[in-house]
């Protein structure tokens, strides 16, 4: 429910306007020397107010560790942490106390629970993803050698057409939209500014590439590596689709075009499989793509209903993202890191594959 993972497990709590968010990491190996600056760096990549194309809510998103770490190293026991909320403006949400915002979780939470913390969306707020960054930042530090890179691959109908192999991931952080192609990034930023000025929002996609993943991660049948990546990614607020390898394009192809032929060393000439075969990593790059819908809160007047079932007019207030994609990039990486580590810790692959190459 509020837990992700089986071996490396993150359990979380927190509402947008409560006193703090936080979580507990269970199953973290002992003796890991943590780089706390790196953890904060990842939080900063996600935090609100980082640029003029994201929400202007101001939060330092400072994580405070309460247990599981002794003299800078993990002890193998559960790691508790909190991230205080600093800049709640709950009054911004007074206008929705009794109103259900269209395409939000307001209505379904009220129906399911009979009660909801309406302030900032309560538990349904994407503020929760700050917790995931903490879990993912620690996982990244344990997964030495594996490279995890996500980037913005489209905003609206503006697509970064280059394949990931042609990109320089070191440029992802060189612009505020997190697209590693400067020219396309400029266009995307302009697009988001236009949308925001119109009081509107826009969707987009994030692509993620995992390099140097060991062979053998993933479990047959129901815990295939891509199925677990998919579940994790579909849990991100606003995600409407997940594809890996050839994805939806692959559904148009023939077998003779789609098969990845082997080289003598077990690598493959093409990689439409996306680094996973039979649910198990094959050592090639793993890549996948996520669709994000446009943020539901727009600054235009819309009709909606209140708790009496009356049609009322409302207009977004508060501080919202015109496009979630730039801030989603580190979230995707964090989840990918946690899913990978979960499988690495389980790892039941044999040392001896019986292969002579």
Q: Name which position in 40, 88, 149, 154 contacts a copy of itself (CB under 8 A).
A: 154
Which residues, including other chains, have CB under 8 Å from residue 25's CB and lie 6 or more apart? 8, 9, 10, 68, 78, 79, 81, 134, 135, 138
Considering the complex, state which of residue 174 and residue 347 has its C-beta at the smaller distance from a copy of itself.
347
Tokens 């949308």 correspond to 195
Q: CA separation (Å) from 191 to 160, 175, 187, 320?
A: 14, 14, 6, 16
Question: Rule CB under 8 A: is residue 49 a binding residue for a copy of itself?
Answer: no
User: Using a CB cutoff of 8 Å and minimum separation of 24, what contacts does 174-177 make?
Assistant: 176/50, 176/51, 176/52, 176/53, 176/54, 176/326, 177/53, 177/152, 177/325, 177/326
Q: For the CB of residue 170, give the shortest distance to a copy of itself in the complex, in Å.
A: 26
- In the shown chain, the binding pattern of residues 119 to 138 toward a copy of itself, with x for contact by CB under 8 A and - for none, equals ---xxx---x----------
When asked if residue 256 is in the footprint of a copy of itself (CB under 8 A), the reply is yes
**Of 176 and 272, which has the nearer Cβ to a copy of itself?**
272
**Helix (H, G, I), strand (E, B), or coil: what is residue 17?**
coil
Query: Least distance to a copy of itself from the beta carbon of 102, Å?
Result: 4
Q: Does 88 contact a copy of itself by CB under 8 A?
A: no
CB 53 within 8 A of CB 106: no
Contact 316, 96 (CB under 8 A): no
State the binding string over 187-226 for a copy of itself (x if CB under 8 A, else -): --------x----xxxxxx---------xx-xxxxxxx-x
Report, in angstroms and rounded to the nearest whole number, the Rg of the chain calculated over CA atoms. Answer: 21
Show contacts with a copy of itself in window 232-251 (CB under 8 A). Answer: 232, 234-235, 240-248, 250-251
Using CA atoms, how far apart are residues 67 and 53, in angstroms rounded to an integer?
36
User: Is 296 assigned a ligand-binding role in the annotation?
Assistant: yes
What is d(CA 206, CA 179) in angstroms, rounded to the nearest whole number?
A: 9
The CB-of-106 to a copy of itself minimum distance in angstroms stands at 8
Number of residues counted as binding a copy of itself (CB under 8 A): 151
User: Per CB under 8 A, which region of 40-48, 71-79, 88-96, 166-174 contacts a copy of itself?
Assistant: 71-79
| By the rule CB under 8 A, 112 interacts with a copy of itself | yes
Three-class SS state of 22: strand
Q: Does 100 bind a copy of itself (CB under 8 A)?
A: yes
Whether 319 has a binding-site annotation, put simply, is yes
Q: How many CA atoms lie within 13 A of 287 on its CB side?
A: 19
Judge whether 84 is annotated as a binding position. Answer: no
To a copy of itself, the closest distance from the beta carbon of 127 in angstroms equals 11
Q: How far apart are CA 302 and CA 313, in angstroms?
A: 6
The verdict on whether residue 307 carries a ligand-binding annotation is no
Please list the residues that pair with 208 across neighbouring strands: 150, 288
- Which two structure tokens, joined as six digits, stand for 215? 């062979």
CB 167 to a copy of itself: min, Å: 19
What residues between 158 and 187 interact with a copy of itself by CB under 8 A? none
Specify the residue, 113 or 166, whose C-beta has the smaller distance to a copy of itself: 113
Nearest CB to a copy of itself, comparing residues 55 and 304: 304
138's enclosing H/E stretch is helix 129-142
Annotation-wise, does 124 bind a ligand?
yes
> Per CB under 8 A, which region of 38-46, 50-58, 176-184, 259-267 contacts a copy of itself?
259-267
Closer by beta carbon to a copy of itself, 38 or else 300: 300
Q: Rule CB under 8 A: which of 270-289 touch a copy of itself?
A: 272-274, 276-283
Of 91, 174, 193, 253, the residue at the interface with a copy of itself (CB under 8 A) is: 253
Tokens 């990486």: give the residue.
333
**154 labelled ligand-binding:** no
Binding-site positions for NADP(+): 46
Give the residue numbers of the binding site for FMN.
123-125, 237-238, 278, 293-297, 319
């Amino acid at each position: 429910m509020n837990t992700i993972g089986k071996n490396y497990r993150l359990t979380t709590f927190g509402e947008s306007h409560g006193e703090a968010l936080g979580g507990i990491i269970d199953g973290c190996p002992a003796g890991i020397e943590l780089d706390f600056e790196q953890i904060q760096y990842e939080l900063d990549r996600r935090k609100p107010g980082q640029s003029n194309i994201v929400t202007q809510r101001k939060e330092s998103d400072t994580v405070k560790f309460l247990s599981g770490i002794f003299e800078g190293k993990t002890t193998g026991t559960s790691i508790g942490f909190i991230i205080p909320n600093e800049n709640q403006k709950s009054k911004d949400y007074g206008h929705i106390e009794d109103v259900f915002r269209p395409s939000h979780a307001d209505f379904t939470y009220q129906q399911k629970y009979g009660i909801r913390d309406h302030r900032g969306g309560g538990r349904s707020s994407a503020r929760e993803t700050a917790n995931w960054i903490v879990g993912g930042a620690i996982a990244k530090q344990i997964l030495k050698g594996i490279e995890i890179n996500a980037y913005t691959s489209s905003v609206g109908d503006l697509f970064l057409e280059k394949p990931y192999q042609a990109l320089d991931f070191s440029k992802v952080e060189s612009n505020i939209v997190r697209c590693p192609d400067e020219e396309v990034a400029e266009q995307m930023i302009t697009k988001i500014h236009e949308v925001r000025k119109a009081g509107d929002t826009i969707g987009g996609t994030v692509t993620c590439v995992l390099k140097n993943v060991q062979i053998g991660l993933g479990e047959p049948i129901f815990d295939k590596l891509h199925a677990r990546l998919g579940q994790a990614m579909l849990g991100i607020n606003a995600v409407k689709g997940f594809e890996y390898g050839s994805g939806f394009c692959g559904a148009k192809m023939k077998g003779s075009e789609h098969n990845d032929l082997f080289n003598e060393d077990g690598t493959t000439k093409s990689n439409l499989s996306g680094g996973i075969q039979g649910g198990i990593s094959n050592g090639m790059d793993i890549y996948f793509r996520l669709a994000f819908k446009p943020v539901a809160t727009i600054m235009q007047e819309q009709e909606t209903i209140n708790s009496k079932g009356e049609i009322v007019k409302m207009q977004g207030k508060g501080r919202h993202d015109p496009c979630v994609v730039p801030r989603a990039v580190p979230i995707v990486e964090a989840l990918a890191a946690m899913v990978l580590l979960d499988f690495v810790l389980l790892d039941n692959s044999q040392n001896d594959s019986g292969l002579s190459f």
